Amino acid sequence: MKRLSDVLGTVFADSDVPNAARANIVMRQWSTAVGEILALHSAPDRYDHGVLWVEATGSAWAQEIRMSQAVILEKMNDIAGEQLFREIRVSHRARKPDMVR
């Protein structure tokens, strides 16, 4: 049987765990980073080792995010106060009812 301290030590040895926690806080401010109109048609889905995965309501909105990636990343990192986000990957799907802005 493993001790809790052994398990937690391995979890926090992966430096992305604290980064993911901070990134999730920043992701809640998506509309601040992208503006209200784009936020109506997209939402952050998850964060993984510097990659922000975003869902868009259609291919045109997905393309808009891809074209604005540098600006969005800069704003997200400004909100974070550190360089958490280095890339955006976008998928387009029908809007999920639980998209939070």
Reported as a single tens digit per residue, the pLDDT across 57-100 is 999 999 999 999 999 999 999 999 999 999 999 998 765 545 54
Q: Which two tokens stand for residue 28?
A: 């809640």
| pLDDT cut 70: percent of the chain above it | 78
Sequence-distant (6+) residues with CB within 8 A of 14 are: none
Question: For the range 34-40, what are the long-range contacts, defined as Cβ-Cβ under 8 Å and sequence gap of 24 or more?
Answer: 34/65, 34/68, 34/72, 34/75, 38/64, 38/65, 38/68, 39/101, 40/101
Mean pLDDT of 43-56: 96
* 29: containing domain: 4-92
Domain count along the chain: 1
**Residue 16: what pLDDT?**
77
Residue 99 lies in a domain: no
pLDDT at 30: 97
> Does residue 98 lie in a domain region?
no
Flag whether 97 is in a domain: no
**Which of the four pLDDT bands, split at 50, 70 and 90, describes residue 13?**
low
**Residue 101 pLDDT:** 47
Q: Please give the pLDDT value at position 4.
A: 67
The Cα angle at residue 68 between residues 63 and 74, in degrees rounded to 5 = 145
What CATH number should be reported for the domain holding residue 30?
Answer: 3.30.300.180
What is the structure's pLDDT at 5? Answer: 61
